[in-house]
Amino acid sequence: MAEFLINSVGFPEWLAWTVTAVVAAVLILNVIAGGALVFIWAERKIAARIQDRLGPTRTGGRFGWLQSLADGIKLIAKEDLMPEGADGMLFRLAPYVSFCASFCAFIALPFAFDFVGQRLNVGVFFVVAVLGLEVFGVILAGYASASKWSLFGAMREAAQVVSYEVPLGMCVVVPVMLAGSMDLVTIAEKQAGWVTNWYLFHDPFTFVIFWVYVTCAVASVNRAPFDLAEAESELVAGFHTEYSGLRWSYFFMAEYGSMFLVSALAAVLFMGGWNGPIPVARLVGLSEGTGDTANYFVRLLGMANLLGKATLGVLVMMWVRWTLPRLRIDQVMTTCLKYCTPIAAAMFAGAMLWQLMLPGGVAPGLSRPAGEIREGWLEGPGGRSAAARSSAVAGVLP
């Protein structure tokens, strides 16, 4: 877009980049915030159905589809409360830290080939690192609230999230190693083709490590059964006990944003990203080379694919939440340090050996490395230029 503004419209370079950044930011912010509202509504309906209830039925006419918006209006209209003993500045700051951390990570998350706020050659690293910042908001909230329950919640969150970053990092490294790149776009592109090309089914080690990733992801975004920072039956409401109104809703949005983010990350790292289980576009003869409109259409399809997979992940998290009891803090730490971390480490080593010993898979004739298939396709009828291709696969910023 920046190039377009510079070359065709004649904007100066700084203006072009600023406009591009603003557009991308507004798009991401609104899509994710809107998405969070949809997920909040979905959670209400799903929880209700799981519990033999109906959930919201009236707001917005049918299915209560405007319920989240109505809630939002209520939260905005609420009185701005702050406990007397609270540390005012930190108390006000905390929700925004959480919110920004959760939403900033979306900058590097690709929704389809080139549908990305800012393509980074260290995309994976960026997403995991920025998502980890969310814990600061929670600790600030717990510390600044001047409430003992909040403090307990914050301390739990600090212990839990920092611990789970370790196995989570190890899980994330495996697809990075397989793809040979930290660029999320490249990682997803390498899994193009049939479902067997997904890293999930790459070898037994990646299959196991996917489940470790799921566990750690749920824990690192504080969802049940790892929602110890909130733990409403023990800590009243944990770190956001003293929050109400719009500030509270920022925490809420951050939680749903993070949920969606880790699900989308799982889709990109293990489930082919925007590449569907069946390469439909490819089979009907559409490719990046068939023209701009077709190209755009293929990417939209890919985006739907990714959103579908990510939504599936979010739905599974909701399902788990409304089914399982909560673990205790020592059990959460045991799960992380005694099970997740060693398993992740072993699987990482296994995947590494696999890559070293059997680079072509068990039966090279049957399953060629995913990247190779992609190469073959790009050389198909009307393929893109060799330069563009190599840059796309190698993950170099265009």
Partner 1 sequence: MSHVADDPRIIEFDVRTDEMLVNMGPQHPSTHGVLRLVLRTDGEVVSEVEPHIGYLHRCAEKIGENLTARQWIPYTDRMDYLAAMNMNLGWALAVEKLMKYQVSEKARHLRVLIAELGRIASHLVGMGAYGLDLGTFSPFLYAFREREKILDLFEEACGARLTYSYITVGGLTADLPPGWLGRCEAFLDQFEPIIKEYHALLTTNAIFVKRTANIGVMSRDLAIEYGCSGPVLRGSGVDQDMRRDGEAIYTAMYDGYAFEVAVMKDGHYPRDHEYPPVPADAVLGDCWHRFFVRMLEVVQSMDLVRQSIDRYSACKGPLGEPLKLAEKIPAGDAYLETEAPKGQMGFYLVSDGSAIPWRVRARSSSFSNLAVAPELCRGCLIADVPAIVGSLDIVMGEIDR
* CA 297/CA 303 separation, integer angstroms: 10
Identify which of residues 168 and 329 has a Cβ nearer to partner 1 in the complex.
Answer: 329
Q: At 201, which helix (H) or strand (E)?
A: none
* CA 51/CA 43 separation, integer angstroms: 12
Least CB distance to partner 1 at residue 209 (A)? 22
Identify which of residues 7 and 323 has a Cβ nearer to partner 1 in the complex.
Answer: 323
* CA 109/CA 28 separation, integer angstroms: 10
Identify which of residues 309 and 326 has a Cβ nearer to partner 1 in the complex.
Answer: 326
Least CB distance to partner 1 at residue 223 (A)? 12
Least CB distance to partner 1 at residue 180 (A)? 39
* CA 272/CA 192 separation, integer angstroms: 6
Identify which of residues 156 and 374 has a Cβ nearer to partner 1 in the complex.
Answer: 156
Least CB distance to partner 1 at residue 212 (A)? 17
Identify which of residues 46 and 105 has a Cβ nearer to partner 1 in the complex.
Answer: 46
Least CB distance to partner 1 at residue 168 (A)? 21
Least CB distance to partner 1 at residue 45 (A)? 14
Q: Is 336 exposed, middle or buried (0-12, 13-18, 19+ CB in 10 A)?
A: buried
Compute CA distances 277 → 2, 78, 252, 324, whole Å.
Answer: 33, 46, 33, 30
Identify which of residues 137 and 153 has a Cβ nearer to partner 1 in the complex.
Answer: 153
* CA 38/CA 259 separation, integer angstroms: 13
Identify which of residues 101 and 139 has a Cβ nearer to partner 1 in the complex.
Answer: 139
* CA 284/CA 273 separation, integer angstroms: 20
Identify which of residues 53 and 74 has a Cβ nearer to partner 1 in the complex.
Answer: 53
Identify which of residues 334 and 390 has a Cβ nearer to partner 1 in the complex.
Answer: 334
Return the CA Rg of the chain. Answer: 22
Least CB distance to partner 1 at residue 138 (A)? 17
**Tokens 């050659």 map to which residue?**
121
* CA 307/CA 16 separation, integer angstroms: 29
* CA 182/CA 124 separation, integer angstroms: 6
- Asked whether the CA dihedral 164, 166, 170, 173 is positive or negative, the reply is positive
C-beta separation of 170 from 348 below 8 A: yes
Identify which of residues 217 and 235 has a Cβ nearer to partner 1 in the complex.
Answer: 235
C-beta separation of 92 from 251 below 8 A: no
Least CB distance to partner 1 at residue 218 (A)? 13
**At how many degrees (to 10) do helices 204-220 and 292-321 cross?**
70
Least CB distance to partner 1 at residue 51 (A)? 4
Least CB distance to partner 1 at residue 113 (A)? 41
Beta strands in the chain (DSSP E): none
Token digits of residue 266 = 């799982």
Question: What is the distance in angstroms between the CA of the first residue and the CA of the last residue of the chain?
Answer: 13
* CA 227/CA 215 separation, integer angstroms: 12
C-beta separation of 34 from 26 below 8 A: no
**Nearest Cα residue to 292 out of 120, 117, 111, 114:** 114
> Which residues bind to partner 1, rule: CB under 8 A?
47, 50-53, 148-149, 152, 155-156, 224-225, 227-228, 231-236, 322-331
